[in-house]
Structure 1
Amino acid sequence: MQVGDKIVFDRYQWRILDIKNNAALIITEDIIEQRAYHDVYKDTTWADCELRKYLNGEFYDKFTVTNRSRIIPVINKNSNNPWYGTNGGEDTEDRIFLLDIEDMVCRYFGDSSANLHNRGKNQKYWFQRKDKNNIKRSATFKDGLWWWWLRAPGRHNVRAVYVHGDGNIGIQGNNIFRCNISLFHYLGDNKGGVRPALWLKL
């Protein structure tokens, strides 16, 4: 196995993002479903959101016993939003999780760290629409491009950061409960896309 390979694990196709200590970090190749980040409109971090509860409960439980034994629990640090300083919440132990901003723009989908750390004076909501790495972050749901959640907080804790359908980073965040209307390939359900990630024992 090598970084960038696609593998089948349980019910889905996954992409390998990293390999270390005889384990691979993998993410589903496509958006596998649409869900709200949380079930009520109130300040919420990844530690307390309904989506985390679902991924580490009902979703995890659908894996076979053998496959569950290969999923490695990890401690995730949940950083504050780098543009707005919004509280990222406490560290969490997760079997299944969403990627964070640094994963998306500095590590696994090309290096766009300059856009993260050098915010333009007129930038409030987006990274660069012409970022050459946007294409690496775009994802499909039911054969159409769609936006998908990250676990980082947005401009306020009633928002969470997301990846737009064109791969741009919505660092101001989308509404965690009643998601804002997306202008990119509306598919009839406006909830954010879910691309679970996990560390898999090799």
Structure 2
Amino acid sequence: MEYIEISSSLLFGGYNWRVLDIHNNTALIITEEIIDQRPYHDAYEDITWADCALRKYLNGEFYDKFTEADKSRIITVVNKNPDNQWYGSKGGADTKDSIFLLSLEEVCTYFGDSRSKLYNRGKNQRYWFERKDENNSKRLAKLLGKEWCWWWWLRSPGRVNIKAVYIFGTDGNIGIQGNNILKGNISDGKCTGGVRPALWLKLEL
């Protein structure tokens, strides 16, 4: 059996992945780097993860890039998609995914435990999850082939359903209010957000 542990790295399908969790000879993994830049959806409309264009791409065109041998190790799972805890925007239906983005809850669990801050909103907190969260730096990721970090999408809804939650690129804050699903952060002149695919992988025996 290949030896891996939580927080270690492994090579799979031509990408380097970080191990976030291990359970019953399977591992939850996420790409170490941001491997692409894409909008969350292809139209400016209310949307949830279940129906967004990025989910369709990850479970279609992106998934099909893997070899048949690699596909046999990717486990299809049912993902829960909770409502946004601060704003109540709808997370949508449960989804059956081979490839997915992490949820707000998952990123608060697997990059250090920040769940208490998620469920106990400070009275002056409006836009950012927690600027002084000790786990912020653990969420930073570089855009593939670049020397600088970039922001990346989560699958959770933002303040409204024309936004999706994201990880801020300079310090790893969680943007719980969300960025525009079609054009990202319009105010800074930059367009689409980063993509860090995640999946459950069957470990080799």
Give, in whole Å, the separation in 1 of the partners of 2:12 and 2:95: 24
Give, in whole Å, the separation in 2 of the partners of 1:26 and 1:182: 32
Q: Which residue of 2 aligns with 1:100?
A: 103
Q: Is 2:202 aligned against 1:201?
A: yes
Secondary structure of 1:130's match? coil
Q: Which residue of 2 aligns with 1:52?
A: 55
Q: Is 2:162 aligned against 1:179?
A: no
Instruction: Kindly provide the amino acid, as one letter, of the partner of residue 124 in structure 1.
Output: R
Give, in whole Å, the separation in 2 of the partners of 1:196 and 1:65: 18
Instruction: Give the number of aligned pairs.
Output: 197
Alignment of 1:138-157 (within 5 A): 138-141=140-143, 142-157=146-161
1:181 deviates by: 3.7
The range that moved more, 166-175 or 122-131, is: 122-131
Secondary structure of 2:165's match? strand
> CA offsets per residue over residues 179-200 of structure 1, 9 Å max, x none?
12475xx8xx521000000000
Instruction: Kindly provide the amino acid, as one letter, of the partner of residue 179 in structure 2.
Output: N
Q: Which residue of 2 aligns with 1:40?
A: 43
Q: For structure 1, which runs of at least 5 residues remain unmatched after alignment?
A: none
Could you tell me whether the CA contact under 8 Å between 1:182 and 1:190 is conserved in 2? no
RMSD of the TM alignment (CA)? 1.2
Question: What TM-score do the two structures reach when normalised by structure 2?
Answer: 0.93
Q: Which residue of 1 aligns with 2:165?
A: 161
Q: Which residue of 2 aligns with 1:117?
A: 119
Q: Which residue of 1 aligns with 2:91?
A: 88
Give, in whole Å, the separation in 2 of the partners of 1:178 and 1:43: 14
Could you tell me whether the CA contact under 8 Å between 2:33 and 2:142 is conserved in 1? yes
Question: What TM-score do the two structures reach when normalised by structure 1?
Answer: 0.95
Could you tell me whether the CA contact under 8 Å between 2:34 and 2:196 is conserved in 1? yes
Q: Which residue of 2 aligns with 1:170?
A: 175
1:46 deviates by: 0.1
Instruction: Kindly provide the amino acid, as one letter, of the partner of residue 154 in structure 2.
Output: L
- Share of identical aligned residues, percent? 65
Q: Is 2:23 aligned against 1:25?
A: no
1:12 to 11, 15, 22: 15
Q: Point out 4+ residue stretches in structure 1 off by more than 2 angstroms.
A: none
Secondary structure of 2:87's match? coil
Q: For structure 2, which runs of at least 5 residues remain unmatched after alignment?
A: none
> CA offsets per residue over residues 92-142 of structure 1, 9 Å max, x none?
00000000011111x210111222111111211102212110000011112
Could you tell me whether the CA contact under 8 Å between 1:151 and 1:160 is conserved in 2? yes
